[in-house]
């Protein structure tokens, strides 16, 4: 009887196994799982879940499965699968996982690896100014180039995790840098030794990172799971994981995390609940009270601190979720918008509430905002992802000072303390090959560059002295073009694989007003 039961169970298992081996799930397990993980959460290859594939869908996804990816381990499957099977496999990858995956502190710790043979250098292994280096993220083949900011000589080019997004974050002394991928990998790189130190997977689908004022902690904002992971910058070990949910317990994705240097804290934008979080990075932070608690001991209703000291968490309630921020230079206020909204709200971080509202239609990209002094008053500018304009806002009274019409919606803005101009790309539409150079005082377009007709020109960063402005030609066989920031003439062109963002060590560690933080 027992034998018979075992036999029947085995038959069921075989049948289930055979069933699992048919159709798209079967093709996935046979052909993809080895690199992308049997659970689709990624291993040597990237995660293949809707959250990670939102930028690679439909025909583009079918093309990658059919033809593979040049210069990667991804092979072409057009000879092993029919067009119909490939279409079904692509469709399967865009289906959500049956259960929301978890990624615990233990998983983060297990993923951590330190580069064998790495030892820190006692001085830079090059002669260049270590604070005038640039990191250029080349998304075409998932590498970063390290450039000397005076000569533009390439000092190193290293492989990153797949699909790096957002600005790398530097330690306050500019010695180490942390780079994050959309699949949640954080890579630590030593800018003196020009060597990777190690990497860790802090989340499954992550948004960006921020470093604490003292350089000891790195916060990773995650969509999946709904957490904020705090790592020790020293050895990438997990220090704390916050499960993110509002007061009522509704879980939320974390849209972004930023350092507020004057407040010695991290500020979090939450995607799904109307709260902003502030997490202190001050070991002596004052207690945070989150409401009244009835004490059985005293029989009284008392305010009990919910947290204090390092990583004390404060909630700021807002009228609706805000997922894109710009901070004033003192980090007293932030302006936020939700991606579907047409207004901005100003939240005062000291009193912890909304203090003003301003009309901002056309999806402002506040994260790219920059500020400067115009006619004695500090203004900030933001591009809009859906309208061909820049909005100029007075950061004292929060009025909309002016609107600069552009040749198309833009993504990024840049300037420098020493420059008279704002550089604004025209990222979307037929004029994506243009770069406007706008006078900071008159707000008139002084010149429009078209570095490579037909190719997207995007994202600018200045060197530490403001002498040069670097522009990306955002194509697989693209380039980085160095302009003289005063004469606006081209100085040098360096071939690169889809260079996206570029980041100057000095401008970032000094929170230059002309660059995003």
Of the candidate residues 143, 165, 175, 313, the single one contacting ligand DHE (CB under 6 A)? 165
x-or-dash pattern for ligand DHE, window 440-479, by CB under 6 A?
-------------------x--------------------
Residue among 42, 167, 203, 215 that touches ligand DHE (CB under 6 A): 167
Applying CB under 6 A, the span of 164-172, 198-206, 301-309, 475-483 interacting with ligand DHE comes to 164-172
Contacts 24+ apart (CB under 8 A), 125-132: 125/192, 125/193, 125/194, 126/155, 126/194, 128/153, 128/155, 129/464, 130/174, 130/175, 130/191, 130/192, 130/505, 131/174, 131/464, 131/505, 131/506, 131/509, 132/463, 132/464, 132/465, 132/504, 132/505, 132/506
Distance CA 103, CA 112 (A): 13
Nearest to 273 by CA among 200, 338, 182, 359: 338
Q: Which is nearer to ligand DHE, 45 or 367 (CB)?
A: 367
List C-alpha distances in Å: 278 to 260, 352, 362.
9, 10, 28
Alpha carbon distance 55, 9 (integer Å) = 43
* Least distance to ligand DHE, CB of residue 472, Å: 9
In angstroms, what is the minimal distance from the CB of 517 to ligand DHE?
7
**Whole-number Å distance between alpha carbons of 67 and 516:** 37
208 binds ligand DHE (CB under 6 A): yes
Least separation in angstroms between residue 354's CB and ligand DHE is 20
Contact between 226 and ligand DHE per CB under 6 A: no
Minimum distance, C-beta of residue 364 to ligand DHE, in the bound complex (Å): 12
Smallest Cα–Cα separation from 242: which of 280, 274, 212? 280
Counting residues that bind ligand DHE (by CB under 6 A) gives: 15
State the Cα–Cα distance between residues 343 and 305, nearest whole angstrom. 34
Does 259 participate in binding ligand DHE (rule CB under 6 A)?
no
Single out the residue of 65, 197, 228, 256 in contact with ligand DHE (rule: CB under 6 A). 256
Secondary structure of residue 88 in the 3-state scheme: helix
For residues 296 to 335, the per-residue mask of contacts with ligand DHE, x marking binding by CB under 6 A and - elsewhere, is ----------------------------------------
Q: Of 89 and 422, which has the nearer Cβ to ligand DHE?
A: 422
Which residues touch 397 (CB under 8 Å, ≥6 apart)? none
253 touches ligand DHE by CB under 6 A: no
Going 204 to 205 to 208 to 213, the CA torsion angle's sign is negative
Q: Which is nearer to ligand DHE, 89 or 268 (CB)?
A: 268
- Considering only 23-31, 77-85, 162-170, 488-496, which stretch makes contact with ligand DHE by CB under 6 A? 162-170
Q: Which of these, 95, 108, 85, lies nearest to 53 by C-alpha position?
A: 95
Least distance CB 411 / ligand DHE (angstroms):
6
Residue 500 binds ligand DHE (CB under 6 A) = yes
Instruction: Note whether 367 binds ligand DHE by CB under 6 A.
Output: yes
Q: Distance between CA atoms of 221 and 236, rounded to whole angstroms?
A: 15
Taking the C-alpha atoms of residue 107 and residue 248, their distance in angstroms, rounded to an integer, is 27
In the bound complex, what is the minimum distance in angstroms from residue 16's beta carbon to ligand DHE? 37
Residues 130-149 as x/- pattern, contact with ligand DHE by CB under 6 A: ---------x----------
Closest to ligand DHE by CB, 86 or 256: 256
Q: Does 207 bind ligand DHE (CB under 6 A)?
A: yes
Q: How far is the CB of 515 from ligand DHE (least distance, A)?
A: 7
* Strand 113-114 with 468-473, pairing: unpaired
- Measured in degrees and rounded to the nearest 5, phi and psi for residue 23 equal 70, -170
Shortest Cβ distance from residue 166 to ligand DHE (Å)?
Answer: 3
Q: For residues 366 and 258, what is the distance between their CA atoms, to the nearest angstrom? A: 13
Nearer to ligand DHE among residue 389 and residue 498 (C-beta): 498
- Considering only residues 393 to 412 of the shown chain, the ones binding ligand DHE according to CB under 6 A are 411-412
> Of 55, 248, 296, 444, which one interacts with ligand DHE (CB under 6 A)?
55
Measured CA to CA, the distance from residue 193 to residue 6 in angstroms comes to: 60
Q: 88 vs 57, 58, 60, 95, CA distance in Å?
A: 13, 11, 14, 11
Q: Which stretch binds ligand DHE (CB under 6 A): 159-167, 225-233, 399-407, 445-453?
A: 159-167
Shortest distance, CB of residue 26 to ligand DHE, whole angstroms?
31
114, 88, 84: which is closest to 25 by C-alpha? 88
Q: Please say whether the dihedral angle defined by the alpha carbons of residues 233, 239, 243 and 247, taken in this order, is positive or negative.
A: negative
Cβ nearer to ligand DHE, comparing 185 with 411: 411
Binders of ligand DHE among 102-121, rule CB under 6 A? none
Nearest CB to ligand DHE, comparing residues 87 and 147 = 147
List, as own/partner pairs, every contact residues 32-38 make where C-beta atoms lie below 8 angstroms and the sequence separation is at least 24, other chains included.
32/89, 35/73, 35/74
Q: What is each CA distance from 307 to 230, 287, 289, in whole angstroms?
A: 16, 6, 7
Smallest separation (angstroms) from ligand DHE to the CB of 223: 9
Q: State the residues that interact with ligand DHE by CB under 6 A.
A: 55, 139, 165-167, 207-208, 256, 367, 411-412, 459, 500-501, 516
């Amino acid at each position: 009887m027992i034998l018979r039961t075992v036999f029947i169970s085995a038959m069921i298992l075989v049948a289930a196994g055979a069933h699992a081996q048919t159709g798209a799930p079967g093709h996935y397990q046979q052909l993809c799982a080895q690199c992308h993980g049997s659970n689709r959460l990624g291993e040597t290859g990237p995660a293949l879940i809707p959250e990670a594939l939102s930028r690679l869908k439909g025909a583009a996804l079918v093309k990658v499965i059919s033809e593979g990816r040049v210069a990667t381990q991804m092979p072409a499957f057009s000879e092993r699968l029919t067009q119909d099977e490939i279409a079904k496999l692509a469709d399967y990858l865009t289906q959500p996982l049956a259960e929301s995956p978890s990624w615990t502190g233990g998983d983060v710790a297990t993923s951590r690896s330190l580069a064998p043979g790495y030892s820190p250098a006692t001085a830079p292994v090059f002669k260049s100014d270590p604070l005038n280096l640039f990191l250029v993220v080349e998304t075409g083949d998932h590498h970063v180039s390290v450039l000397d900011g005076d000569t533009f000589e390439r000092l190193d080019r290293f492989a990153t995790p797949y699909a790096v997004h957002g600005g790398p974050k530097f330690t306050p002394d500019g010695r180490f840098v942390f780079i994050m991928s959309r699949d949640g990998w954080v890579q630590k790189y030593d800018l003196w030794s020009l060597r990777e130190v190690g990497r860790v997977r802090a989340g499954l689908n992550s948004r960006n990172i921020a470093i604490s004022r003292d350089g000891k902690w790195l916060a990773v904002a995650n969509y999946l799971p709904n957490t904020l992971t705090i790592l020790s910058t020293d050895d990438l070990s997990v220090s704390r994981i916050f499960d993110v949910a509002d007061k009522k317990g509704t879980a939320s994705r974390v849209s972004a995390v930023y350092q507020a240097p004057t407040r010695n804290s991290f500020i979090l934008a939450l995607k799904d609940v109307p709260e902003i979080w502030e997490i202190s990075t001050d070991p002596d932070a004052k207690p945070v009270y989150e409401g009244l608690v009835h004490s059985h001991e005293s029989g009284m209703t008392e305010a009990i601190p919910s947290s204090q000291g390092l990583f004390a968490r404060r909630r700021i309630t807002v009228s609706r979720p805000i997922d894109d921020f710009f901070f004033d230079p003192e980090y007293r206020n932030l302006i936020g918008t939700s991606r579907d909204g047409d207004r901005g709200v100003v939240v005062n971080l000291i009193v912890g509430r909304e203090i003003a509202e301003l009309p901002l239609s056309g999806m402002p990209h506040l994260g790219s905002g920059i500020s400067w002094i115009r006619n004695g008053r500090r203004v900030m500018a933001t591009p809009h992802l859906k309208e061909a304009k820049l909005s100029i806002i007075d950061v004292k009274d929060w009025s909309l000072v002016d609107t600069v019409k552009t040749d198309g919606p833009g993504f990024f803005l840049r300037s420098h303390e020493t420059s008279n101009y704002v550089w604004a790309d025209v990222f979307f539409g037929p004029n994506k090959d243009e770069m406007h150079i706008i006078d900071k005082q008159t707000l008139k377009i002084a010149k429009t560059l078209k570095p490579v007709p037909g190719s997207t020109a995007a994202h600018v960063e200045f060197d530490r002295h403001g002498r040069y402005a670097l522009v990306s030609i955002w194509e697989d066989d693209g380039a980085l073009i160095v302009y003289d920031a005063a004469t606006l003439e081209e100085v040098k062109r360096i071939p690169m694989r889809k260079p996206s963002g570029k980041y100057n060590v000095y401008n970032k560690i000094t929170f230059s007003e002309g660059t995003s933080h």
